[in-house]
Amino acid sequence: MNEKLILWNNFCEKYINFNVGVPLFSTRDDRIVDIKQYGKNNRLILRRSEEMENFIINEVTHVLEDYKNKNDVYEGLIYMMYKIKNNLIVPLYIGKSEKYGKNDNNLSRNISNIKSNKYFFCRWGDNYAYHIGDLSAVVCPGHPKEKMNRKYQIWASRLFENYPTTEPKLKEDIYFWISAWQKGNTGIFTEFGGTPLTALEYQLISVAANLFPEELLNQEGVNRGQKVIWILLLDIYSKILLENLHNIG
């Protein structure tokens, strides 16, 4: 079996498996996604599943309590949109949401007040410039052309049979996974030990891009991720080497 595929499957078995992920969208029969009105102009947007929203709230709450208590255990959250094919978790999009905002010690607005924060909602918010809002601009009718981002046009073509429409139908079942990432958690390369959240994101994208080049929607970050991952790995190797030399001395 492909060595990278073994790494991928081992990571998925440890952190995701088939019992953890939940449906991304609220759907009716035949995979038709529910839509709702949103904002002052009552624009139409895609509806997240209740399971997905609860999943995000539960995981983000770990990070919020960590921030409140100043324990500094969690770095933020890692998430994945995926499908299942031949008993394999096939990633469609991989991303992260940091605990801190642009000002280092301030809690990120993407996760603050998460139970009511459906406009940002850990990057999956209803506002434009967030995943659900921008995908809805392409899939649901009535949105201005300037809000139809090329990135989400690609998402829409990959996920939906036809659009724009008030009854968008998924091509296949789409799932979502998220995890509050603790300092010291091991990533996909277990031999390196504890993996920082930023390194984890690049590792996962790099491996996924190699294994699933026709499926992964992180295309805008793939080349950057593959370059950065080797820099990060080199840094980790250097730290291990220095630690071993110190122990020998």
pLDDT band at 21 (very low <50, low <70, confident <90, very high): confident
145 within a domain of the structure (yes/no): yes
> Does position 203 have pLDDT exceeding 60, yes or no?
yes
Confidence of residue 230 (pLDDT cuts 50, 70, 90): low
Q: Is residue 51 part of a domain?
A: yes
Q: What is the Cα–Cα distance from 246 to 136, expressed in whole angstroms? A: 55
Mean pLDDT lowest among 57-61, 134-138, 216-220? 216-220
Q: Tell me if 205 is assigned to some domain.
A: no
Instruction: Quick: pLDDT tens for 139-187.
Output: 999 999 999 999 999 999 999 999 999 999 999 999 999 999 999 999 9
Q: pLDDT at position 241, please?
A: 45
Q: What percent of the chain has pLDDT over 70?
A: 87
pLDDT over 90 at 239, yes or no: no
Quote the CA–CA distance of 186 and 195 in Å, as a whole number: 5
On whether residue 34 sits in a domain, the answer given is: yes
Q: Band of the pLDDT at 46, cuts 50, 70, 90?
A: very high
Average pLDDT over residues 132-138: 98
Residue 58 belongs to domain spanning: 3-197
Between 240 and 54, where is the model more confident?
Answer: 54
Mean pLDDT for the chain?
90
pTM reported for the whole predicted model: 0.88
Q: Is residue 213 part of a domain?
A: no
Q: Is the per-residue pLDDT at 247 higher than 60?
A: no
pLDDT exceeds cutoff 70 at 12: yes
Which pLDDT belongs to residue 219?
A: 76
* Least trusted range by pLDDT, from 68-72, 184-188, 232-236: 232-236
**Residue 239 falls inside a structural domain:** no
pLDDT at position 125: 98
What's the domain count of the chain? Answer: 1
Q: What is the mean pLDDT of residues 187-197?
A: 92
pLDDT score of 222: 56
Please check whether residue 43 is in contact with residue 49, taking contact to mean a CB–CB distance below 8 angstroms: no
Mean pLDDT (whole number) for 127-133: 98
In a domain, residue 113? The reply is yes
Q: Is the pLDDT of residue 238 over 50?
A: no
pLDDT at 245: 47
